[in-house]
Amino acid sequence: MKVQELARQEQISADTIRHYVRIGLLQPGKADNGYHIFSGGDQKRLRFIRQARDLGFTLDDIQKILHEAGRGSSPCPTVRQLIEPRLQEARNRLQAMQALVERMESAVAGWQAMPDCFPSGDHICHLIESCDAPVAAEEKSCE
């Protein structure tokens, strides 16, 4: 099958598939006209790549996993080793997102009592600027 057909079947962009071919994750055959021809094995490999991406593995990680499997070795030890830093990265991102949600909730609550203001030489949007400054929201004026 051609790249567009594979993309449609797997609900992924053709550009993503082409990128995977460029970096060597997929290695389709070539037709006489130069088009890439993907086999059922390529489709299975693409599904594996997507599953690994959904688990947080990077493309470099996936390359290592596929290399191990291609050598006939079990990639499982590599997978176990690689998932640990990905898990920690996900935890760190989750903590950062939780902190962002808390800042946003605090801002929304604080802005309820603040008036709308027009930009001036002192501020652009006093709502946003009040979040960064230690000055209490009540002390801000719209002048």
Cα separation of 12 and 50, whole Å? 9
Is pLDDT of 35 > 80?
yes
Mean pLDDT of the region 87-111: 95
Instruction: Show Cβ contacts of residue 61 under 8 Å, excluding neighbours closer than 6 positions.
Output: 52, 82, 86
Q: How confident is the model at residue 143 (pLDDT cuts 50, 70, 90)?
A: low
Is pLDDT of 109 > 70?
yes
Is pLDDT of 135 > 60?
no
The torsion angles phi and psi of 69, rounded to 5 degrees, stand at -65, -40
Q: Which residue has the higher pLDDT, 79 or 130?
A: 79
Cβ atoms of residues 37 and 30 within 8 Å:
yes
Q: What does the pLDDT read at residue 136?
A: 47
Cα separation of 33 and 3, whole Å? 14
Give percent of the chain with pLDDT exceeding 70: 92
Q: Return the minimum-mean-pLDDT range out of 30-34, 64-68, 95-99.
A: 30-34
| Average pLDDT across the chain, whole number | 91
Q: Where are the domains of the chain?
A: 3-110, 113-143
Cα separation of 143 and 129, whole Å? 15
Is pLDDT of 74 > 50?
yes
For domain 3-110, give the CATH number.
Answer: 1.10.1660.10
